Amino acid sequence: MKNKKMQKIIALATLATIGFADLSVVTNSGLAKGNVDWTKVGWSPLTAPSPWTEWKWDTAKEGRSWKYVEELTQAEKDYWQIDPRWSHEIPRDKEHPLLPEEKYPYKFPYSGEELASLSEASGSTTTMCGLQTHHAYHINRTKDRNGVVSKSDTICNTIKHFKTYAEMLYDLKPGTEQGAYLVVVVSPPEQAGTVSLSKFYKDGPGIKKLEDRWAYLPNLRRVRRISGASGEDYIPGAISTYDDVFLRDFWKFDSKIIGVDVLYQVANEKKPYGPIEGPYRKDGGVDTYVVLNVPKQKDYYLSQWVTWHDRKTGHVLRTEQWDRRGNFKKIDEASLAAPVLIFNKLGYPWAEAFKGGINENGNERRAVMMGGGPSAAWDVEQDVQTYMLPSGPDKKIDYDKFGPLSVYAGKETWQQLFQPQRIENSFAKPVPVVKFEAKDFPPYPSLYREKFPKFRKIVLPAEIQQKIKKNESDKRGLFKS
């Protein structure tokens, strides 16, 4: 009799537990219960079980800034909270088999796949600049192998058709439009007024739709439809592909955390987060996870890439690429040091995003993680460098001269934005004058040859090695604050 009574109590407790679980967004198994409004699900910063505020690793004493996962002590594992599995080793979501079983925004420990997903959610890789709406002036400089500097300054507008990254993952159907990107060329003068509009679509099992593109040409005063591009195609006038910027979804590649590292310089900025509660470490560095990524697609133009993710946010600070033949191909670095307008108030995107959750506009705050700071890229094959100066007041660019630069630009539609009369008026003029010559160009990004040699084979042509040797002998940090 006692046993039957006890069984009844256990059964009632189990039902109560299940009923309580139904109220939560995600159960421990990672499967959603009930009807979840994914537009209300946003990332928030996590706290690891370890009480450390920074990795207790003396880089000067140890003679290096990094460690493989296999080298970590138990205390370090408690601090870093790493799931060392490859993506394909992680159980899949029953309803969305391309995604991991644990649903976004994830919990500790983080896997390489989850970090890749978080980096997309922050806009640091392929999620339409990471913004629901976005209006910004981009000051781009390119230096070719002969040292000639050219400029391609643009005004960019971005609109996404989802409010949170969770909504894009779990609600947006494959084949539907996920966002659009408008670029107005304002410099050099011979190309000023040229406009391109691209619309992107969500991929899925058996569904891969090319982007749709249109262009407005001032000399014709007409809009022309142009052929779409695949992810491996280069963006016109850039050294980045569409996959680099828009289309390389995390589920299309296999990822694994290979180690941890401390970065001290990103995009030629010695403090990647500027004055925002930084530097993170007392010695001026930033704790990062290091992730190895391998494409699932056969004959993809890259054989692998390695990414450095800020431990506190998952945001990508540095990316290295190798081509399909295994040759070292490209370095991208992004810093978040400069302010932009957020709801018409000047501030740092990182500071807004790190609040977590949903903002007053109903969008995920994490979406503004990137933006404002300088970014640098070096294509080793072509020996071409690009540098995007931040659009903040520290570079003597006056907001009042060319209108507000806002990560929430308002409620304009593409019908309103993509109009010649709008494009040709003061919306794109006057152009800020920025003096930037070859001598001002940042040096080559650091190669860090000693880090993770099992996974990073770096072989460069002799000509480029000589350039780097001379370059590294010069004083770094041309844009010291």
Beta-bridge partner residues of 133: 159
Q: Is the pLDDT of residue 390 over 50?
A: yes
Q: Which of 139-148, 299-308, 337-346, 444-453 has the highest mean pLDDT?
A: 299-308
Percentage of residues in the chain with pLDDT exceeding 70?
A: 76
Per-residue confidence (pLDDT) for residue 127, from 0 to 100: 61
* Residues 282-293 pLDDT 10s: 888 889 999 999
Per-residue confidence (pLDDT) for residue 444, from 0 to 100: 83
Mean local confidence (pLDDT), 382-392? 78
Out of 10-14, 168-172, 252-256, least confident range: 10-14
Out of 44-53, 61-70, 291-300, 437-446, least confident range: 437-446
Out of 30-34, 297-301, 324-328, least confident range: 30-34
In which region does residue 371 sit, left (phi positive, over 0), alpha (psi from -120 to 50) or beta (all else)?
Answer: left
In Å, how far are 200, 230, 426 from 176, measured between CA atoms?
A: 9, 16, 34
Query: What totals of helices (H) and strands (E) does the chain contain, helices first?
Result: 11, 19
Mean local confidence (pLDDT), 210-231? 84
Mean local confidence (pLDDT), 466-481? 56
Task: Report the alpha-carbon distance of residue 273 to residue 373 in Å, rounded.
Answer: 9
Mean local confidence (pLDDT), 110-129? 83
* Mean pLDDT (the chain, rounded): 79
Contact in structure between 469 and 462 (CB atoms under 8 Å):
no
Choose between 157 and 226: higher pLDDT: 226
DSSP string, 28-64: TTS-B-S---GGG--------SS--SS----HHHHT-
* Residues 259-289 pLDDT 10s: 999 998 887 666 665 555 555 788 888 899 9
Q: Which of 23-37, 66-80, 127-141, 307-321 has the highest mean pLDDT?
A: 66-80
Per-residue confidence (pLDDT) for residue 415, from 0 to 100: 64
Mean local confidence (pLDDT), 385-392? 73
Out of 297-306, 404-413, 419-428, least confident range: 419-428
Choose among 288, 283, 277: nearest CA to 318: 288
The residue type of 239 is: I
Which pLDDT band holds residue 210 (cuts at 50, 70, 90)?
confident
Structure tokens at 213: 């593109």
Mean local confidence (pLDDT), 342-362? 82
For residue 147, count CB atoms less than 10 angstroms from its CB and return exposed for 0-12, middle for 13-18, buried for 19 or more: exposed
Structure tokens at 396: 């003597």
Out of 82-86, 227-231, 432-436, least confident range: 432-436
Which pLDDT band holds residue 140 (cuts at 50, 70, 90)?
confident
Question: What predicted TM-score, i.e. pTM, was given to this entire model?
Answer: 0.86
Mean local confidence (pLDDT), 2-16? 41
* Residues 407-420 pLDDT 10s: 555 566 666 666 65
* Residues 68-99 pLDDT 10s: 999 999 999 999 999 999 999 999 999 999 99
Q: In 71-147, which ranges are continuous DSSP H helix?
A: 74-80, 112-121
Q: Is the pLDDT of residue 60 over 80?
A: yes
Q: Is the pLDDT of residue 25 over 70?
A: no
Mean local confidence (pLDDT), 331-353? 79
Which pLDDT band holds residue 424 (cuts at 50, 70, 90)?
low
Mean local confidence (pLDDT), 92-110? 95
Task: Report the alpha-carbon distance of residue 253 to residue 87 in Å, rounded.
Answer: 8
Contact in structure between 200 and 162 (CB atoms under 8 Å):
no
Which pLDDT band holds residue 358 (cuts at 50, 70, 90)?
very high
Mean local confidence (pLDDT), 23-38? 52
Q: Is the pLDDT of residue 254 over 80?
A: yes
Per-residue confidence (pLDDT) for residue 417, from 0 to 100: 60
Contact in structure between 107 and 114 (CB atoms under 8 Å):
no
Q: Is the pLDDT of residue 225 over 50?
A: yes
Please report the sign of the dihedral spanned by the C-alpha atoms of residue 34, residue 47, residue 97, residue 123.
Answer: positive
Contact in structure between 391 and 401 (CB atoms under 8 Å):
no
Per-residue confidence (pLDDT) for residue 18, from 0 to 100: 26
Q: Is the pLDDT of residue 149 over 80?
A: yes
